[in-house]
Amino acid sequence: MSTDFRFTNPVSEDHFRRVLPKVGMTEHQPQTHAAKNKFCITDGENYVWVYVSKFDNTVSFSAFSMQAVTGGAMLDLIANELNTTALCEHDEGFFGD
């Protein structure tokens, strides 16, 4: 089972990748091993899958199983650096309501 996340403000893939080192995260799986529009980030213990929209080059996320809790915390750190907020699919406003 997975939990999906998104930022309240659109964030481009390039901007997102530049922030990772600032918050102590890295790309776990090189792009060559994953689909062109998907990669995995880690803080060394936890991970989140990142999906890049082919329409507007913005990012969204999925965390699987128990990673949803720690993945949300990881995304909160990144969101803070980007001056936005991370929402999970269970949060009010995730679907724009």
Evaluate if residue 81 carries a pLDDT over 70: yes
Question: How far from 56 is each of 4, 13, 51, 69, 71, CA to CA, in Å?
Answer: 18, 10, 12, 28, 24
CA distance linking residue 8 with residue 65, whole number of Å: 23
Domains in the chain, CATH or no CATH each = 2-88 (3.30.70)
Question: How far from 18 is each of 15, 21, 22, 82, CA to CA, in Å?
Answer: 5, 7, 8, 10
Please tell me the predicted confidence (pLDDT) of residue 33.
57
Please tell me the predicted confidence (pLDDT) of residue 80.
95
Q: What is the mean pLDDT of residues 73-86?
A: 93
Is the CB of residue 74 less than 8 Å from the CB of residue 46? Answer: yes
pTM: 0.85
Please tell me the predicted confidence (pLDDT) of residue 41.
92
Is the CB of residue 26 less than 8 Å from the CB of residue 20? Answer: yes
CA distance linking residue 13 with residue 1, whole number of Å: 25
For the chain, helix, strand, coil in percent to 5 are 30, 30, 40
CA distance linking residue 46 with residue 25, whole number of Å: 10
